[in-house]
Amino acid sequence: MRHYNNWINGQELAPINATFIERISPADGTALAKFPSSTQGDLEIAVEAANKLHLSGAWANLAASERAKLLVKFAELIEQNCEFLAKIEAEEVGKPITYARGEVMWSAELVKFAAALAWQIPGEAHTHLGENKLGLVTREPRGVVGMIVPWNFPMVCLFQKLPYAIAAGCPVVIKPSEYTSGTALEVAKLAKQAGLPDGLINIVCGKGSVIGDGLTRHPDVKMISFTGSTAVGKTIARTAADDMTRVALELGGKAANVVFADADLEAALDGVLFGVMLNQGEECVAGTRLLIEKSIADDFVAKLVERAKKVVIAHPLKDESQIGPLIYEQHYKKVLEYIEIGKQEATLVLDGSHPEGEDLAQGYYVGPTIFTDVKPEHRIFKEEIFGPVLAVTTFETQEEAVQLANDVEYGLGNGLWTKDIDKALQVSKQLQSGTVFVNTYLEGAAQMPFGGYKQSGYGRENGVDALLEYLEVKSTFIKLGQRTPVLPNTL
């Protein structure tokens, strides 16, 4: 079993109360790790270390090109330790090891991209403001940033924030999920090895209601970047409002894959299945609704069911595994409850609630589950289930497809499948979501911002926008040359 302490000011620090949270494998119940169940005192030490570094200017005033070089080293160390980190991620989350490897390498890629952005932090000079007048628009690091992340993609959710804040010049205090803190604590050690200064990355493990809330209320924390559920995101936004602490929120989703009859249906079958099964459906942008043109619906769903039956459900450390267990018992029960609700509301055409296979009974496994005849008023259409459960609804016109896709409170992502480029662009424009995938699903690029519309949150990660989130904008208006008093001139 791995035994962890907090990571504060470049070293391990045991929690003051010497209390730990045990992480049990969702695949087979073995004890995997112990993480600190920290209290406010631990948080105070971490915020103080981060703030001290910020106030010293040692990181904020370092040439951004130097910050970039250290970030590149950090990325290389993450790559070199891919297998080690991926195993921890697979064990703690329950995600298949092949996807965990992809998650680690993608995280390293984001660090390299953020490093490149650091070289060109934007500023403006306004030289046409009138004679002897100069305007400068500069961007300054906001100060200490609190990062609160969930358990489904512990590395990617963190790395859509961390390297950008570091590139911008901000020290951070991270509150990982109490179920999956391992990789955050390991990468902090790699950051030190890369030469990033003590106090830049601090990690305080523990409960959201204690450490997450404490971080949000802390007067020396100037920004909270949160990824998690919409309910907790709203609580954070309300709390942060008291101090006008800036907040960026990456929240829940209920994405649709819209499949038109003129699509490449083979590709759409793969994309729809991948969209709902990736990470056991524990994915904020999972395509858990299929909106399909009525003329092709029966045939498409029949083929989808056949394909879904072939998905390999197995222990996450097995290379062949495509679906691992859900995160913990309570969540597993919640997903099974939704399957029961679905049975009352719609037609069950594939039941993954009790998959059969070697050792599966020891873990919280749920296989692909598909419902047809789903209506917009059904709970399985509207609510985030966070499991591999697909709700299928048919449409007859393009307008109806768009209306159905937008008929949920979330707006994180959607997919659409058609060979008609005009239709693709029209529909893409009408979809109320921060991301639209066309003829593919769950692809992305570091250059492209990621974030939500509606109840999926605000703020953007990745792209240049991610860097800008961590920079305060300052306008400096300069009168040059003349020494005349200001007041008479302005009258």
Based on CB atoms, which residue is closest to ligand NAD, 153 or 365?
Answer: 153
Exactly one of 6, 51, 216, 322 binds ligand NAD (CB under 6 A); that residue is 216
* Residue 384 makes contact with ligand NAD by CB under 6 A: yes
Q: Which residues pair with 414 in a beta bridge?
A: 436
Q: Which listed residue (103, 284, 384, 469) is catalytic?
A: 284
Report CA-CA distances (Å) from 268 to 263, 274, 326.
7, 10, 26
**Which of 7, 22, 181 is CA-nearest to residue 89?**
181
469 near ligand NAD, judged by CB under 6 A:
no
CB of 454 to ligand NAD, least distance (A): 12
Residue type at 190?
Answer: L
- Cα distances (Å, whole numbers) of residue 69 to 21, 122, 257, 389, 434: 36, 18, 40, 44, 31
| Piece in contact with ligand NAD (CB under 6 A), picked from 1-9, 191-199, 227-235, 270-278 | 227-235
SS3 state at 466: helix
By beta-carbon proximity to ligand NAD, the closer residue of 323 and 412 is: 412
From the list 210-218, 310-318, 373-381, 416-424, the region that binds ligand NAD by CB under 6 A is 210-218
Our finding on whether 40 is near ligand NAD (CB under 6 A) is: no
Q: At what angle do helices 64-80 and 82-93 cross, to 10 degrees?
A: 70
Nearer to ligand NAD, 143 or 253 (CB): 253
Choose the stretch contacting ligand NAD; rule: CB under 6 A; options: 61-69, 209-217, 312-320, 363-371: 209-217
Question: What residues from 442 to 461 belong to the interface with ligand NAD (CB under 6 A)?
Answer: 452, 456
Q: Determine contact, residues 271/248, Cβ cutoff 8 Å.
A: no
Closest separation in Å from C-beta 131 to ligand NAD: 49
Per-residue binding string, ligand NAD, 337-376, x by CB under 6 A, is: ----------------------------------------
Among 40, 98, 138, 235, binds ligand NAD (CB under 6 A): 235
One residue of 94, 143, 146, 150 binding ligand NAD per CB under 6 A: 150
Q: Closest CB to ligand NAD among 235 and 406?
A: 235
Asked if residue 253 binds ligand NAD (CB under 6 A), the reply is yes
The least distance separating ligand NAD from the CB of residue 213, rounded to whole angstroms, comes to: 4
What is the torsion angle, in degrees rounded to the nearest 10, for the CA atoms of residue 44, residue 46, residue 51 and residue 52? 100
**Amino acid identity of 36?**
P
51 versus 227: smaller Cβ distance to ligand NAD: 227
178 binds ligand NAD (CB under 6 A): yes
Shortest Å, Cβ 256 to ligand NAD: 15
Q: How far is the CB of 35 from ligand NAD (least distance, A)?
A: 11
Cβ at position 287, least distance to ligand NAD in Å: 13
Site map 267..306 versus ligand NAD, x via CB under 6 A = -----------------x----------------------
Q: Rounded distance, CA 90 to CA 276, Å?
A: 19
Picking from 391, 405, 401, the residue whose alpha carbon sits closest to that of residue 261 is 401
Place of tokens 């020891």: 362
Does 177 participate in binding ligand NAD (rule CB under 6 A)? yes
**Least distance (Å) from ligand NAD to the CB of residue 210?**
9
Q: Is 98 in the site for ligand NAD (CB under 6 A)?
A: no
Dihedral angle sign, alpha carbons of residues 428, 432, 434, 439: negative
Identify the active-site residue in 92, 250, 282, 345. Answer: 250
Q: How far apart, in Å, are the Cα atoms of 420 and each of 106, 259, 404?
A: 31, 12, 20
Q: State which H helix or E strand residue 228 sits in.
A: none
Per the annotation, the verdict on 250 as an active-site residue is: yes
Can you list the alpha helix ranges (DSSP code H) found in 119-197? 154-159, 162-168, 182-194
Taking alpha carbons only, the member of 26, 50, 47, 22 closest to residue 35 is: 22
Distance CA 293, CA 274 (A): 20
Instruction: Choose which of 7, 74, 99, 153 interacts with ligand NAD (CB under 6 A).
Output: 153
- Laid out side by side, the sheet with 435-438 consists of 347-350, 369-372, 389-395, 289-293, 256-259, 413-417, 435-438
Please tell me the count of residues contacting ligand NAD according to CB under 6 A: 31
According to the binding rule CB under 6 A, does residue 335 interact with ligand NAD?
A: no
For residue 112, which of 73, 83, 80 has the smallest C-alpha distance?
73
The stretch near ligand NAD (CB under 6 A) out of 122-130, 208-216, 349-357, 417-425 is: 208-216
List phi, psi (to 5°) of 432.
Answer: -90, 75
- Tell me whether residue 469 is one of the annotated catalytic residues: no
How far are the Cα atoms of 170, 274, 296, 326, 338 from residue 333, in angstroms, in the given order? 40, 23, 34, 10, 9
Determine the 3-state secondary structure of 380 from DSSP.
helix
By CB under 6 A, tell whether 251 contacts ligand NAD. Answer: yes
Instruction: Write out the residues near ligand NAD by the rule CB under 6 A.
Output: 148-153, 157, 175, 177-178, 208-209, 212-213, 216, 227-229, 232, 235-236, 250-253, 284, 384, 386, 412, 452, 456
Active site residues: 250, 284
